[in-house]
Amino acid sequence: MATPPPSHAGAQQKAPAILRCGVCGSESRHVPFRPQPPEQAPDLDLRPGEPVRSTMARWLQQCPHCGYAAPDLAQAHPAVPGVVAAAPFRALLADVSAPPLARKFLAWAHVLEETGALHAAAEATLQAAWVADDMQRDEQARAWRRDAVALWRSGPPMDAEQCVRALDALRRAGAWDDAAHTADDMARRFDRDPVAPIVALEARLIAARDEGRHTIASALPPPARRPHVSHQQTRRAIGGGPFAWLKRLFRR
């Protein structure tokens, strides 16, 4: 069956549904998010390309009563009600120095961190940095990237993909010494891994003190008439197909 073309917003339009909050039990109306695969290459930190890139406001649902935010508002870890009721979470919601959408991702990250899902918390914190990128909040983007790296490093051992994403976060945060040391270490560890071309690109960008956004496509040699095997291998290693990024995006 042919895949339908992506809509303008990068997601199929669904009718709003009434959801019951998994924390406070209040009901609110939300539109389910059903993305189409991105058409453009993802960034080095795996932020998806357009048209999905511009749909971040729909990635999480937030309860208007208690403030709990999650990909599925109806689901909550048993410890979450205590986290949501505690002072740090309430203070986070009240912090007007962060853009409202970024606060939503940071709220989700806080819940994940407090329930022990440190790598998923790093993902959500990085997503807050993406919001800051879009709003030209450079200092906040750098700070949240550093926080994301700290969460990744505090969790279980990272796989190659997570190491690459943490490396990109360090570079874009301007943490040059840490980024250079990490790139050297990764070049030794992953010299025969499909992510090696990305690590090499990161090392060149770090040496040039380049904090800018770059895509995965820029790390790979241009394909000939048929894509080179390295393109397919790297795609599997860092993407796993057009929908794998979404599974990682929302994993707990």
- Residue ranges covered by each domain of the chain: 18-30+37-250
Could you tell me the two tokens for 172?
A: 């874009």
Could you tell me the two tokens for 38?
A: 């991105």
Q: Cis peptide before 51, with omega less than 30 degrees from 0? A: yes
pLDDT at position 193? 87
pLDDT digits (tens, 9 = 90+) for 202-236: 999 999 999 999 999 998 766 534 433 333 333 44
Mean pLDDT is lowest, of 47-56, 164-173, 180-189, 235-244, for 235-244
Distance from the Cα of residue 207 to its chain's centroid? 25
Q: Is the distance from CB of 51 to CB of 38 less than 8 angstroms?
A: yes
For the chain, what percentages of helix, strand and coil (3-state, to nearest 5) are there?
50, 5, 40
pLDDT at position 50? 92
Q: How many CB atoms lie within 10 A of CB 78?
A: 8
Q: Is the distance from CB of 155 to CB of 186 less than 8 angstroms?
A: no
Q: Does 117 score more than 60 pLDDT?
A: yes
Place of tokens 């390309």: 49
pLDDT digits (tens, 9 = 90+) for 52-93: 999 999 999 999 999 999 999 999 999 999 999 999 999 999
Q: Does 4 score more than 90 pLDDT?
A: no
Helix (H) or strand (E) holding 69: strand 69-70
Among 125, 180, 133, residue whose Cα is nearest residue 149: 125
Q: Does 107 score more than 80 pLDDT?
A: yes
Q: Residue 59 contacts by C-beta under 8 Å, 6 or more apart in sequence?
A: 33, 71, 127, 249, 250
pLDDT at position 221? 64
Q: Return d(Cα 55, Cα 59) in angstroms, integer.
A: 7
Q: Return d(Cα 199, Cα 192) in angstroms, integer.
A: 11
Place of tokens 């190491």: 163
Q: Return d(Cα 208, Cα 20) in angstroms, integer.
A: 50
Place of tokens 């009901």: 27
Could you tell me the two tokens for 86?
A: 């505690």
Among 108, 214, 109, residue whose Cα is nearest residue 168: 214
Q: Residue 13 — very low, low, confident or very high, per pLDDT cuts 50/70/90? A: low
What's the rounded mean pLDDT across residues 133-137?
97
Q: Return d(Cα 15, Cα 35) in angstroms, integer.
A: 14
CA distances, 241 to each of 44, 126, 164, 238 (Å):
16, 21, 18, 9
Q: Does 27 score more than 90 pLDDT?
A: yes
